[in-house]
Each structure stands twice: as structure tokens, then as C-alpha cells.
Amino acid sequence: MNEDNEEGLLSGIIVLDMSQFLAGPMAALRLGDLGARIIKIERPDGGDLCRRLYLSDTEIGGDSTLFHAINRGKESFAINMKDESDLRELRALIAKADVVIQNFRPGVIERLGLDYAAVAAINPRIVYGSITGYGPDNEWRLFPGQDLLAQARSGAMWLNGEADDGPVPFGLAVADMLAGNLLVQAILAGLVRRGVTGRGVHVETSLLEAMVDFQFEVLTTHLNDGGRLPQKSAVRNAHAYLAAPYGVYRCADGWLALAMMPLAQLAPLLDLPELAVCTPDDAFQRRDEIKSMIAGRLKEETAQQWLAILEPADIWAAEVLDWPKLLQSAAFRQLDMLQTVTRDDGTSVRTTASPIRVNGVRSKNSLAAPTIGGQSDKVRAEFIGDR
């Protein structure tokens, strides 16, 4: 067990991460951040396909930065799930585990004999977490469960960009990360329930369900206002359902974000008396016109000059930072959210740390993502023995 996690909230919980790519491994990562021991089940011939899924041309120690980011702190147990001898070892490991996570396409896990019914027969106390692309039994179930494709089918792309842009995807794998976080919530609830009843449970979600839930606020509006489609602003759009001045504006030297506020409050600060007489209805119905006025004024001064005026007046505004500015800021450094992790082959990676603090302390560990099967012998000796 990782010594730094011995006092974690989930210390003593053993998680078998049988998932690949991002959503499932991200869920296991978060459980590990909370103190669980994560044993990653990988193929001996290449391991998790994410090891070669490059975000750029950067690799570290033969693995992608993406793999390193979502598999830090884990152990790797390499087996061939099509080999009966290896499967016997995996079943022996399942018998002593607390949680299993898998994100195979519907039907695959059943063919392997590792679906929830089969696993629960081995270990009735197991909390079994599944992530699919679109759910286990609907007509989309066999479509590739990939993030961009899930975004495309969710309707969410029509909320991004400006009025004439068409559908705009998020610049992050939001479906994967949201689904992973939802599965963490469900697994934690399953562990609590097991503590009460002594029985395990199967919890599951999908990329599509995560994306629909992500939109619950605006989708509820759509469902209750006659089915009107979202109307994106043609000028500095940031939210299809919010009125002026909500948006991101260019200044003389950078960018400034303005959140929701009465336009009359903003009028004297920007020296735009026209805003003082705008009604709440105007703020939406004349949204593009009003935002154009604001945009024209803000570009005349620097972001810091505007913040010196807006912040003392309690206006909700912020400079739009890029990564270098964020990382150099005192506020970010005070959060202490970065760490350097290493593994036994000498590979060292600078990455993020857990976003959760417990009693004021952020958990960190020193272990990088594992080499393929790097802990197989250790795991076999500890949990399986001679078979």
C-alpha cells in the first residue's frame, strides 16, 4: 500500500481498475486520491490503450502524458483475460477486493465471464462500477463510447461558441470526466450501503447520461418553456440563456470576463449612460447590441485598469488567464495543487494532485503511473499465492 495513503478516508479499500482510456481510470484515480489502493488490471502486451493515446507528441518513459495523468499512484497487474489460468488469478483477486471498475462495451464483459452477476457470485460484498458510452440496453449501446461522439449526441455542443458558429465541442474530454466523477459518487454510496447491509451492489452510468445531467439546468428550461432552442449571442457569447453583459471581452492587452449583473450598476463605471436605462428585458432582447457597446468600451483600457475600477464596486469580473499566468499566480501557488511523481524505472512526471482536502490537508503521493505489470509479482504473492 502507498504509505502516504494509509490514513486516507478509503484506507483499506481495494479497487480493481479493469477500465481503459479516461472515464473509468479517472474514477479509480479519484478513489486512490481518497486513500484506496488501486490495482490496475492490464494486458501484458501493451497494457491500457491509453498508454499510446497521445495528446501531443509528448511521451514520458514510453507512456503518454494522458496515461500518466490519470493513472498515478496505481499498481499494475498484467493478465490476459482470454487465458483461463490468468482468469483464475483475477477471480482470486476479485474475491479479496472491495470495488471493481470496468468500461467495456456492452456484451464484452459478459463474454469474459466478469459481469456483475459473475463477480458477485465470487464476492457478494463487491461494489461493481460500470461505465458505458450510451447505456447497457438501448439502440445506441454498441456505438463507440468516445468523448467527442458522446458530446455530439448529447445536444451540448449547441450551447458553445457564438450564434453563427454551429455546434462547438468542449476543449476537454468532459463526458469522460463527468462520467468518472458520477461513478465515484455512486461507488462511495455503494460502499456506505454495504457497510449497512453487508451486501454489494452494481452502480453504473454512461457518457451520455453524464452529459445530459451536466445540462440539467438549461435542459429543464427547454423542457418547460415550450421547447424553445437555446439562443446563443452573436457577440461574446458565454451562456445561451444569460443576458448581457455575461461574456468574455477583449481589453487593450488581454481579456476580461463579466458575469451577470444589473446593467445600471455597470453604466457609470464604463461611462456608458445608455446602459443605465436598460431594463432586464432589454438585457436579453437587445443582448448583442448591448454587448457590442460594452466590448467597444472595454478594449480601450487594459484588463488591470478595468479591474481597478470594477472590483472596488463589487462587479463580478475576472481577468482571463492562460496556463502560465495561472501557474505563476500567488493564489494558485497557495493551493499547492501540483506534485512530482516517480516510478521505479526513473520516470518522473510533474502533474496535478488531488483536488480534495481532508481536515485541511491535501493528500499527495510519490508514485507515478505504473509500468505494465510492474506490481504483478507483488500482487500475486499478497493476494493469490500458489495456485
Are residues 321 and 264 both part of a single domain? yes
Q: Percent of the chain scored above 90 by pLDDT? A: 92
Task: With beta carbons less than 8 A apart as the criterion, state whether 92 and 119 touch.
Answer: no
Are residues 324 and 338 both part of a single domain? no
Query: Does residue 143 form part of some domain?
Result: yes
Query: Does residue 170 form part of some domain?
Result: yes
Q: What is the pLDDT of residue 59?
A: 84
* Distance, CA of 98 to chain centre: 23
Q: Between 193 and 6, where is the model more confident? A: 193
How many C-beta neighbours within 10 Å does residue 116 have?
A: 20
Are residues 139 and 198 both part of a single domain? yes
Are residues 48 and 119 both part of a single domain? yes
- pLDDT tens readout for residues 316-327: 999 999 999 999
Are residues 196 and 305 both part of a single domain? no
Average pLDDT, the chain: 94
The CATH number of whichever domain residue 306 belongs to comes to 3.30.1540.10
**Span 300-304, mean pLDDT?**
97
**Span 124-148, mean pLDDT?**
95
Q: How far apart are CA 375 and CA 345, in angstroms?
A: 13
Catalytic residue among 137, 147, 176, 336: 176
Query: Does residue 187 form part of some domain?
Result: yes
Are residues 255 and 365 both part of a single domain? no
Instruction: Give Cβ neighbours of residue 47 (< 8 Å, ≥ 6 apart).
Output: 76, 78, 372, 373
Cis peptide bond N-terminal to 245, omega within 30: yes
**Span 82-88, mean pLDDT?**
94
Q: How far apart are CA 263 and CA 107, in angstroms?
A: 55
- pLDDT tens readout for residues 10-42: 999 999 999 999 999 999 999 999 999 999 999
Domain holding 125, by residue range, is 3-214+334-384
Are residues 100 and 47 both part of a single domain? yes
Would strands 348-352 and 338-342 be described as parallel, antiparallel, or unpaired? antiparallel
pTM of the model: 0.93
Q: What are phi and psi of 128, to 5 degrees?
A: -110, 115
Query: Does residue 142 form part of some domain?
Result: yes
Asked if residue 313 has pLDDT above 90, the reply is yes
Query: Does residue 203 form part of some domain?
Result: yes
Are residues 316 and 345 both part of a single domain? no
58 pLDDT band, cuts 50/70/90, is confident
223 pLDDT band, cuts 50/70/90, is very high
7 pLDDT band, cuts 50/70/90, is confident
Asked if residue 270 has pLDDT above 70, the reply is yes
Are residues 64 and 47 both part of a single domain? yes
Asked if residue 54 has pLDDT above 80, the reply is no
Total count of residues recorded for the chain? 387
Are residues 356 and 268 both part of a single domain? no
Asked if residue 4 has pLDDT above 70, the reply is no
Q: What is the pLDDT of residue 385?
A: 78
Q: Is 176 a catalytic residue?
A: yes
Are residues 320 and 352 both part of a single domain? no
Are residues 343 and 282 both part of a single domain? no
Q: Which of the listed residues 328, 357, 372 is the one where a domain comes to its end?
A: 328
Q: Total domain count for the chain?
A: 2
Asked if residue 2 has pLDDT above 90, the reply is no
**Span 184-190, mean pLDDT?**
98
The CATH number of whichever domain residue 156 belongs to comes to 3.40.50.10540
Report helix, strand or coil for 41: strand
**Span 126-143, mean pLDDT?**
95
Q: Between 174 and 58, where is the model more confident? A: 174
